[in-house]
């Protein structure tokens, strides 16, 4: 009798443990995380017409991810800014070699750009709370501002300049959209905090081709460091 009771109790325990394990397995299939992130964006425009220097600005937005075991999928909506400086004075792009008083500027072109980006990333856990991330990012340029007026002076938007050339819209110096390859890591610091480190290499030639002397390929290269906070 005691033996039968013991067997019955053991059977219940085994069944209970097995049931809990199955429930945990189902719950472990997908981890859904929604959060916000903010950090720094170090970006440069790679091309002979631009200074080869990374400039720091802000980057931030929201993210959503699905994780199962060591695999994951991550999609984000980000806002970022960047600053670009030309390697030559504004007159270089107009094709003349000498300074023209009242027309030229000795300033280099200095521009601020704002982007809305959507990275679509694959995640793979490489060690405990460290995930490797890789994928593609599409970025759309929201604005492109001439900070010091060098190009607005040399290339007036309406009418002709003193060299007889027609004006341009500085917003059209670069293409509006482009793709980048993403490689980086996400590190889970705590239950709600995470650290993101990425490098991005441009795949799209951003040169819109409106300057006949600026025929080089322009590609956007970036590095990002962000801190993420999980909302749910």
As a whole number of angstroms, the distance between CA 33 and CA 122 comes to 14
Asked whether residue 11 carries a pLDDT value surpassing 80, the answer given is no
Give the CB-side neighbour count of residue 67, counting CA atoms within 13 A: 19
The answer to whether 220 touches 202, Cβ cutoff 8 Å, is yes
- Tell me the residue range of the domain where 179 lies: 31-230
The answer to whether 155 touches 210, Cβ cutoff 8 Å, is no
Give the mean model confidence (pLDDT) for residues 76-103: 71
What is the number of structural domains in the chain?
1
Sign (positive or negative) of CA dihedral 7, 11, 13, 14: positive
Residue-wise pLDDT for 96-116, tens only, equals 444 444 445 566 778 899 999
What pLDDT is recorded for position 5?
42
Give the CATH number for residue 196. Answer: 2.40.160.20
Comparing CA positions, the residue from 52, 59, 49 lying closest to residue 223 is 59
Residue-wise pLDDT for 147-180, tens only, equals 877 666 556 554 444 444 445 566 678 899 999 9
The reported pTM is 0.76
Report yes or no on 21 lying in a domain. Answer: no
Report yes or no on 159 lying in a domain. Answer: yes
As a whole number of angstroms, the distance between CA 137 and CA 135 comes to 7
């Amino acid at each position: 009798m005691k033996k039968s009771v013991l067997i019955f109790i053991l059977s219940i325990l085994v069944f209970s443990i097995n049931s809990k394990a199955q429930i945990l397995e189902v719950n472990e299939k997908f981890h859904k995380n929604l959060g916000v992130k903010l950090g720094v964006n170090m970006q440069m425009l790679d091309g002979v017409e631009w200074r080869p220097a990374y400039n720091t600005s802000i980057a931030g937005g929201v993210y959503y991810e699905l994780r199962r075991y060591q695999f994951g999928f991550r999609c984000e909506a980000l806002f970022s800014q960047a600053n670009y400086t030309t390697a030559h004075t504004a007159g270089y792009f107009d094709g003349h070699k000498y300074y023209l008083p009242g027309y030229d500027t000795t300033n280099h072109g200095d521009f601020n750009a704002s982007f809305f980006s959507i990275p679509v990333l694959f995640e793979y856990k490489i060690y405990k709370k460290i995930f490797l991330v890789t994928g593609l990012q599409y970025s759309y340029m929201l604005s492109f501002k001439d900070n010091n007026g060098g190009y607005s002076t040399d290339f007036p938007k309406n009418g002709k300049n003193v060299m007889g050339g027609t004006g341009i819209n500085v917003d059209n110096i670069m293409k509006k959209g482009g793709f980048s390859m993403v490689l980086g890591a996400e590190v889970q610091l705590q239950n709600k905090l995470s650290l993101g480190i990425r490098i991005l290499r441009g795949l799209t030639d951003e040169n819109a081709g409106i300057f006949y002397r600026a025929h080089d390929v322009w590609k956007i290269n970036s590095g990002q460091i962000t801190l993420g906070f999980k909302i749910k």
